[in-house]
Chain A
Amino acid sequence: GAVVSQHPSWVICKSGTSVKIECRSLDFQATTMFWYRQFPKQSLMLMATSNEGSKATYEQGVEKDKFLINHASLTLSTLTVTSAHPEDSSFYICSADSADEQFFGPGTRLTVL
């Protein structure tokens, strides 16, 4: 199956700083990537749909100015959490679509102190 990587796998940062998470499709091109957030013991909630070469589509309640998404190439999408706060601490997972199946990255655990 297709492989999706994410970097970093975990990050700890101070409140008020920004954190960038990368999502790469390693062996296929993905015009569409999805960003999910998962709080402890909860389900995956879609944050936004990242489209190569165009603006991301954000789900209701997700602040586009706080969660910046850039999908500059067919293999890379980045999510930047700006001015992170403790309530942003979560597990962030990306996925990429290939042949109508979604392949997930390994996730990034963000802890904001």
Chain B
Amino acid sequence: GENVEQHPSTLSVQEGDSAVIKCTYSDSASNYFPWYKQELGKRPQLIIDIRSNVGEKKDQRIAVTLNKTAKHFSLHITETQPEDSAVYFCAASQGNTPLVFGKGTRLSVIA
């Protein structure tokens, strides 16, 4: 089955700096790669996703890149703000199959 590895587990950045979180996956059949932001005690919120027919996707300060050959994808947050502080999860699936989550990255943005 699919296995998703996520790094780093914790990340601290100064406000205004960029943050990068990386994930690798094992199943070459996976074709859907979402990123979720989860605040304490709340549900995961989809912040951006990418499908295997695209190499990069951007939405304002957030971007995701996908390298299908190497089976890894990354989340990039630019101009970080304190409200970006949360736990971020990557996931992988074949679209309509269950999501397999990475272990999460706790991002702290220091003002």
Chain B residues with CB under 8 A of A93 = 43-44
Over the window 82-113 of chain A, the binary record of Cβ atoms lying under 8 Å from chain B Cβ atoms (1 yes, 0 no) is 00000000010101010011101111010000
CA distance A46 to B100 in the complex (A): 8
CA distance A63 to B34 in the complex (A): 28
A104 with B41: CB separation less than 8 A = no
B46 with A101: CB separation less than 8 A = yes
Number of interface residues of A (CB under 8 A): 20
Q: Is A42 an interface residue (CB 8 A)?
A: yes
Q: Is B89 an interface residue (CB 8 A)?
A: yes
Other-chain residue from B34, B43, B96, B104 in contact with A32 (beta carbon distance below 8 A): B96
Q: Is A67 an interface residue (CB 8 A)?
A: no
A106 CB → nearest B CB, Å = 5
Other-chain residue from B32, B41, B89 in contact with A100 (beta carbon distance below 8 A): B32
A43 with B89: CB separation less than 8 A = yes
Q: In chain B, residues 49-67, which have Cβ atoms closer than 8 Å to a Cβ of chain A?
A: 49
Chain B residues with CB under 8 A of A46 = 98-100
Chain A residues with CB under 8 A of B98 = 34, 46, 49
Chain A residues with CB under 8 A of B96 = 32, 97, 100
Q: Is B35 an interface residue (CB 8 A)?
A: no
B residues whose Cβ falls under 8 Å from a Cβ of A: 32, 34, 41-46, 49, 89, 95-96, 98-104
Q: A101-B46, A104-B45 are in contact. List 17 more A-B contacts (CB 8 A).
A: A34-B99, A43-B89, A43-B101, A43-B104, A44-B89, A44-B101, A46-B100, A49-B98, A91-B41, A93-B43, A93-B44, A95-B99, A100-B95, A101-B49, A106-B43, A107-B41, A109-B41
